[in-house]
């Protein structure tokens, strides 16, 4: 694109014409929120707020420097140790965001002749990470197709240079579809071909598994089968930031080579303190996960009974695929008028022709609210169909 005001205006006009321009809206509009990632309802928990306030009074607001200069604090160290124990890994490393964790991991681990193999519906940060890693061998396999991933690993093994390796990269829970990656099959394929399996479990940590330890616990996979585990704090844990967990040499390598860790100011220690409290609540209050599962079952039963366009998602992410951006925007606006916030998700976030309403459930919701949402969804989709006719 040419860097002129006219060129920028033309791009924005095209986005408007295709109804793809994104707009920010205030979250405190009085609507009942059914689109956040606060799955366990911890983002406004008073114990997290108190932990953050106490740490801010003690340690200040900012970390003041990068981890390797002067920014690594005792709260960071304690959080990393607790995350390692929680995930069953030797060590963990805290990053400022999940995006930075993904960029840092792939850039640190992938060399030019290595294969980076990703699910086609991976999060944008994983796709960008592969591009920035500058490997000559970046491939994507059909969504959730473990057999296709295994074939690609096998084909690469036939042409690979001595000393090169393969990185098999996937989301654990796919953020726009809510379905789970076939991790047991992917782990088996990775082990068979000597590849690293890297799992971004942003939407599984805190929610899945008996203790809330995520996809690995849900599928019964250990650190040997999934050697690189990435998670975030801004979803079920209700705070901000991210981590990578693995064996001690892996974490030490990231400290030395992950540029998104080395060259940025450390996460505020008060945020680390709040995250530590969230981690305690995840383990202390399993009722939150139990209630969430009950709400998911209620929503799916009600949606099926009403003939709503439900997908095969067992998680708190329940997308209703409507097809066109026009339909998704109309349905979202109709829901807003009824007092419900459900954002319309459009390309390029999702593939062309799969614009949707992304309903997300939280332990803060109550069964009557879910039932009322289902009634509103039925009415809103009818209004959307009429608007598109």
260-286 tens-digit pLDDT: 999 999 999 999 999 999 999 999 999
Q: Give the pLDDT of residue 387.
A: 64
Q: Give the pLDDT of residue 382.
A: 82
| Angle at 108 (CA atoms; ends 104, 111), nearest 5 degrees | 135
pLDDT exceeds cutoff 70 at 64: yes
Q: Which of 164, 175, 354, 362 is catalytic?
A: 175
Q: Give the pLDDT of residue 163.
A: 65
74-98 tens-digit pLDDT: 999 999 999 999 999 999 999 999 9
The set of residues, in sequence order, having a beta carbon less than 8 Å from that of 287 and lying 6+ positions away, is none
Q: Give the pLDDT of residue 263.
A: 97
Choice among 56-65, 150-159, 166-175, 270-279 with the minimum mean pLDDT: 150-159
Identify whether 290 is a catalytic site residue.
no
98-122 tens-digit pLDDT: 999 999 999 999 999 899 999 999 9
Average per-residue pLDDT for the chain = 94
297-351 tens-digit pLDDT: 999 999 999 999 999 999 999 999 999 999 999 999 999 999 999 999 999 999 9
Using DSSP's 3-state secondary structure scheme, residue 29 falls into coil
Q: Which of 45, 193, 203, 365 is catalytic?
A: 203
Beta partners for 168?
A: 117, 197
Cis preceding-peptide flag for 348 (omega within 30 of 0)? yes
Q: Give the pLDDT of residue 26.
A: 80
pLDDT exceeds cutoff 80 at 389: no
**Chain centre to alpha carbon of residue 294:** 22
Q: Which of 235, 277, 291, 365 is catalytic?
A: 235
Q: Answer for the pair 225, 38: CB distance below 8 angstroms, yes or no.
A: no
What the chain holds in terms of domains, given with CATH numbers, is: 46-284 (3.40.640.10), 286-388 (3.90.1150.10)
Identify whether 139 is a catalytic site residue.
no
Which DSSP state fits 66? B
Q: Give the pLDDT of residue 304.
A: 95
pTM listed for this prediction: 0.94
Identify whether 291 is a catalytic site residue.
no
Q: Give the pLDDT of residue 162.
A: 67
- Least Cα distance to 170 among 189, 154, 155 occurs for 189
17-42 tens-digit pLDDT: 888 888 888 877 789 999 999 999 99
């Amino acid at each position: 694109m040419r860097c002129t005001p006219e060129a920028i205006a033309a791009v924005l006009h095209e986005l408007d014409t295709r109804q793809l321009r994104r707009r920010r809206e205030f979250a405190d509009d009085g609507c009942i929120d059914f689109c956040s990632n606060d799955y366990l309802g911890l983002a406004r928990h008073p114990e997290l707020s108190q932990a953050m306030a106490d740490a801010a009074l003690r340690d200040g607001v900012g970390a003041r420097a990068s981890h390797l200069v002067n920014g690594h604090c005792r709260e960071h160290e304690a959080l990393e140790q607790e995350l390692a124990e929680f995930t069953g890994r030797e060590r963990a490393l805290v990053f400022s965001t999940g995006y930075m964790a993904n960029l840092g991991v792939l850039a640190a681990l992938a060399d030019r002749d290595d294969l980076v193999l990703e699910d086609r519906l991976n999060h944008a940060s994983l796709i960008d990470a592969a591009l920035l890693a500058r490997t000559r061998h970046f491939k994507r396999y059909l969504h959730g197709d473990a057999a296709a991933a295994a074939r690609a690993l096998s084909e690469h093994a036939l042409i690979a240079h001595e000393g090169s390796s393969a990185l098999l990269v996937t989301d654990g829970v796919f953020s726009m579809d809510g379905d789970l990656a076939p991790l047991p099959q992917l782990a088996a394929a990775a082990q068979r071909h000597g590849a690293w399996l890297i799992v971004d479990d942003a939407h599984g940590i805190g929610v899945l598994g008996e203790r809330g330890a995520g996809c690995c616990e849900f599928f019964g996979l250990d650190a040997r089968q999934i050697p690189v585990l990435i998670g975030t704090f801004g979803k079920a844990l209700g705070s901000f930031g991210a981590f990578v967990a693995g064996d001690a040499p892996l974490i030490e390598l990231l400290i030395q080579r992950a540029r998104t860790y080395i060259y940025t100011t450390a996460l505020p220690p008060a945020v680390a303190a709040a995250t530590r409290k969230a981690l305690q609540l995840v383990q202390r209050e399993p009722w939150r996960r139990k209630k969430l599962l009950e709400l998911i079952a209620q929503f799916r039963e009600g949606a099926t009974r009403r003939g709503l366009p439900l997908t095969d998602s067992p998680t708190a992410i329940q997308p209703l695929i409507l097809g066109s951006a026009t339909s998704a925007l109309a349905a979202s606006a109709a829901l807003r008028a009824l007092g419900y916030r459900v954002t319309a998700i459009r390309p390029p976030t999702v593939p062309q022709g799969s614009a949707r309403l992304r309903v997300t459930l939280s332990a803060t919701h109550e069964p009557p609210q879910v039932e009322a949402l289902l009634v509103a969804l039925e009415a809103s989709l009818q209004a959307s169909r009429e608007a598109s006719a």
